[in-house]
Structure 1
Amino acid sequence: MKKVLLALGLVALSAGAFAQERPRERGPRNSYANPSAVIAAEIAFAQLAQDKGQWTAFAATAAPDAVMFVPQMVWAQQWLKGRANPARPVKWQPHIVWSSCDGSLMVSHGAWQSDKGTGYFTTIWQRQKDGKYKWVLDHGDELKEPLIAPEMLSGQTADCPDRGKRPAGSPAKAKEVKAKDLPPLDPAGRSGKSLDGTLWWEVTVDPSGARNLSVSWKKDGSDQPALIESVDAPVKE
């Protein structure tokens, strides 16, 4: 059974037309989080797919160590290299973004549409050494009914560590990763965490191809789930 669960109390998605208005952002002051940056990156990513081609856009916006599912988990840049673009690219729209306090890791969630149907996506974005965002995980599945769009985009920020536990100065930078340094990909799963430890994710993959993605964060003084997704094993034809 396909399943997408948003943590109760963290977001309310009400029916209405998709609106590219300034997103609502709720987060503590004195943080480096900027959910608008990833909302903008996601919208630009979707437009690039329409302008230059679907796989061209995926390759241009993926980090060297990004993973995706085709349906097995693969290193994205290796799978995308030299791949021809489909005649009609998928269209998609972000609905909500979760951010770590330091902004080093963000998660976007929304809807996609194609000639073959409709579904949802979740993209995990990591701030790179140059300050820009690249995606490190692309996840999603099809749905029988379109995902209902919210009235307005939403940006949510994790609780920040106590002042005494936060480093002074500019936010920490991610370590540079090069494709040639990638280890063999573990087919059973992968995980990641923001530099400040306030947002983290894990994906596990069954030998059948079924997979589960969980995103958790520090919120309201405790560790809480922000998003849980389950995808069935692909049907063998």
Structure 2
Amino acid sequence: MRKCLKIIAILLTGLFGCDSTTDAEKMEEWKAEILAVEKEFNDMAQKEGLTKAFEFYAAEDGVIRRKRKVIKGKVAIAQWYKEDVRPNETLTWKPTFVDVSEAGDMAYTYGEFIFKYPDSIGNMKTNTGIFHTVWKRQTNGSWKFVWD
């Protein structure tokens, strides 16, 4: 009887302890996902332009704040960029911090950005600053921003 109890205990331990991924490992995996999405987002902005990148990475209910205005929704965000982005403007950024919710469905990043644009006589100007983005995992598993 003792032998059977030991075997049952071993089986139960194996059954309930078979998830080899720890919470810390999951968190690091999710953080790596967000850093990869941020890089892809930045890379798309460089290759295909700000309008396309912001439209692609915005959630349907995404929000941006630009020029003291809040623009709500993916369609409105795309329209704002189509109307506002001028030729030869570039925006690059890289997160210096990322955190993810314990459920792995929300995340936020912040870091530094560099915005370059031509002034009225064609001289390139540079603005630098800090960005903050809030990400939400979508039902298909992808990450889209809900605040930028």
| TM-score normalised to structure 1 length | 0.44
- Check the 8 A contact 2:108/2:134 in 1, yes or no: yes
Distance 1:83 1:110 in 2: 25
- Check the 8 A contact 1:94/1:110 in 2, yes or no: yes
- Check the 8 A contact 1:38/1:106 in 2, yes or no: yes
- Structure ranking higher on relative contact order (CA contacts 8 Å, 6+ apart): 1
More helix by share: 2
2:44 alignment partner, one of 23, 48, 59: 48
Distance 2:147 2:46 in 1: 21
1:114 is displaced (CA, Å) by 1.5
Aligned to 1:104: 105
Distance 1:47 1:91 in 2: 8
**Identity, % of aligned pairs?**
26
Q: Residue 111 of structure 1: SS of its match in structure 2?
A: strand
1:79 is displaced (CA, Å) by 3.4
Note the alpha carbon deviations across 1:49-93, whole angstroms, 9 max, x for none: 000001210010000000011221111421323715432221111
Distance 1:121 1:67 in 2: 14
1:30 is displaced (CA, Å) by 3.4
Unaligned runs of 5+ in 2: 1-20, 117-125
Distance 2:64 2:142 in 1: 20
Query: What number of residue pairs does the alignment pair up?
Result: 111
Hey, which bits of structure 1, 4+ residues long, moved more than 6 A?
A: none
Distance 1:104 1:113 in 2: 28
- Check the 8 A contact 2:54/2:77 in 1, yes or no: no
Kindly indicate whether residue 115 of structure 2 is the aligned counterpart of residue 114 of structure 1.
yes
- Check the 8 A contact 1:59/1:76 in 2, yes or no: no
Note the alpha carbon deviations across 1:105-129, whole angstroms, 9 max, x for none: 0001110001231000010000000
Kindly indicate whether residue 32 of structure 2 is the aligned counterpart of residue 36 of structure 1.
yes
TM-align CA RMSD: 1.9
2:72 alignment partner, one of 60, 72, 75: 75
| TM-score normalised to structure 2 length | 0.69
- Check the 8 A contact 2:92/2:113 in 1, yes or no: yes
Q: Which has the larger radius of gyration?
A: 2
Distance 1:69 1:76 in 2: 12
